[in-house]
Structure 1
Amino acid sequence: MKNKGSVNAIIFAVIVAILVGWGVSKYNNLISKDQYVQSKWSNIETVYQKRTNLIPNLERTIRSYSKFEKETLTQVIQARSKATGITIDPTNLTEADMARFQSAQGELTGALSRLMAVAESYPNLKADQQYLNFQREYTAIENSIRMETVNYNNATVDYNTYRNHFPTSVIANFTNFKEKPYFKADAGANKAPEVFKDE
């Protein structure tokens, strides 16, 4: 009887060890995928910061044209301030956080688009080398933003799919790994901006 009890204890210990090993493996995969999503989010923040950093040079360039509509420039400055005032914790990113971030960045995009549309009425400004440099950098950064949001969403799809598959979802819920929100396209984002057409 003692031998049978020992065998049962060994079998039980082996089963427990296998389950623990399985759980640790799932947990480690969740960590890796979560870190990958966070790195992609960091890339998004970086390209948006690059865009934000362009605005002071744009502001200086435009202020040299005294007749330029100051209200349009003021809207850009205010939108920039709002966009830089939002901080996101990528370890606990929620739909509400994503919506706030996208809303602020969308306001800045809209303000910049309006400013550049107004700039079309100022031939000297359009020909200014600093303004032309801004346009080139801005176009490159907007392309990077689109690319990085796609990369983030791809990483999020991979993470969410893995996280929600049973039985990984049990480990995820137990260890507080939540679903990640997706970066949603702005209305009309599928249309290329027309403010950079060469004449």
Structure 2
Amino acid sequence: MGLVITLLCLLVVVLVVVGYAVGVYNGLVRARNGYKNAFAQIDVQLKRRHDLIPNLVEVAREYMRHERETLEAVIAARSGAVNAQAKAAANPGDPAAMAGLAAGENILSQTLGRLFALAEAYPDLKANQNMMQLSEELASTENRVAFARQAYNDAVMAYNNKREVFPSSVLAGMFNFAPAAPFEVAEPGERDAPKVQF
């Protein structure tokens, strides 16, 4: 009789440990899926941003014929940002992909800033209805990107916290739950949306 009770107690302990491990594993999977979903929201907004830029450049091109170098720099920066976005979308949270995305978006923001600064010297361009509308849409998209980036970074923090605390860290290591990288803008001055004043 004592052996049966010991075996039952041992079986209950094993079932509790296995149940706990399954719960921890499922929590890690949910957290990983959460940050990947949050990145998908960034991806949508970045695609919208990148789609607006060629239209903006096309409107500006008619007025800024002597600023070809700046317009080409914006297009090149957009291309780099689109490539970086594709790499990050293929592997959200990967530190190298997220660093590449941040660098690409920083360069794009800087070149857009130069474009808007030059646009100030062209009164007809500033008054152009299409330019004003595109600039407004771009500013709105920049705000959406910032909100999506914050949601993604929060999801990454929750996932990383979950995978680093004990005893979850043991299971995370056993099942290769790699750390996720946040989407950070490199320079504090670059965190703001480009200033658009028309």
Q: Name the TM-score, length of structure 2 as normaliser.
A: 0.90
Listed as ranges, the gaps of 5+ residues in structure 2 are: none
Identity of aligned residues (%): 32
Task: Check conservation: 1:76, 1:112, Cα contact below 8 A.
Answer: yes
- State the shift of 1:4 in Å: 3.3
Determine if the alignment matches structure 1 residue 166 to structure 2 residue 166.
yes
- State the shift of 1:18 in Å: 1.0
Distance 1:100 1:56, change over 3 A: same
Determine if the alignment matches structure 1 residue 189 to structure 2 residue 197.
no
Distance 1:154 1:172, change over 3 A: same
The residue type paired with residue 115 of structure 1 is: L
Query: Secondary structure in 2 aligned to 1:69?
Result: helix
Alignment partner, residue 112 of structure 1: 112
Greater Cα offset, 5-14 or 147-156: 5-14
Determine if the alignment matches structure 1 residue 141 to structure 2 residue 141.
yes
Determine if the alignment matches structure 1 residue 150 to structure 2 residue 146.
no
- State the shift of 1:130 in Å: 0.7
Counterpart pick for 1:14 among 12, 15, 18: 12
Distance 1:68 1:132, change over 3 A: farther
Asked which structure has the greater CA Rg, the reply is: 1
Q: Deviations over 1:34-77 (max 9, x none)?
A: 11111111111111111100012112212222634000000011
| Partner Cα separation in structure 2 for residue 31 and residue 148 of structure 1 | 21
The residue type paired with residue 41 of structure 2 is: N
Alignment partner, residue 28 of structure 1: 26
Query: Secondary structure in 2 aligned to 1:88?
Result: helix
Task: Check conservation: 1:62, 1:68, Cα contact below 8 A.
Answer: no
Q: Deviations over 1:8-57 (max 9, x none)?
A: 33222221111110000011111111111111111111111111000121
The residue type paired with residue 112 of structure 1 is: L
- State the shift of 1:90 in Å: 5.9
Q: Name the TM-score, length of structure 1 as normaliser.
A: 0.90
Alignment partner, residue 70 of structure 2: 72
Task: Check conservation: 1:38, 1:90, Cα contact below 8 A.
Answer: no
| Partner Cα separation in structure 2 for residue 113 and residue 39 of structure 1 | 30
Listed as ranges, the gaps of 5+ residues in structure 1 are: none
Distance 1:95 1:10, change over 3 A: same
Query: Secondary structure in 2 aligned to 1:64?
Result: helix
The residue type paired with residue 4 of structure 1 is: G
The residue type paired with residue 67 of structure 1 is: R
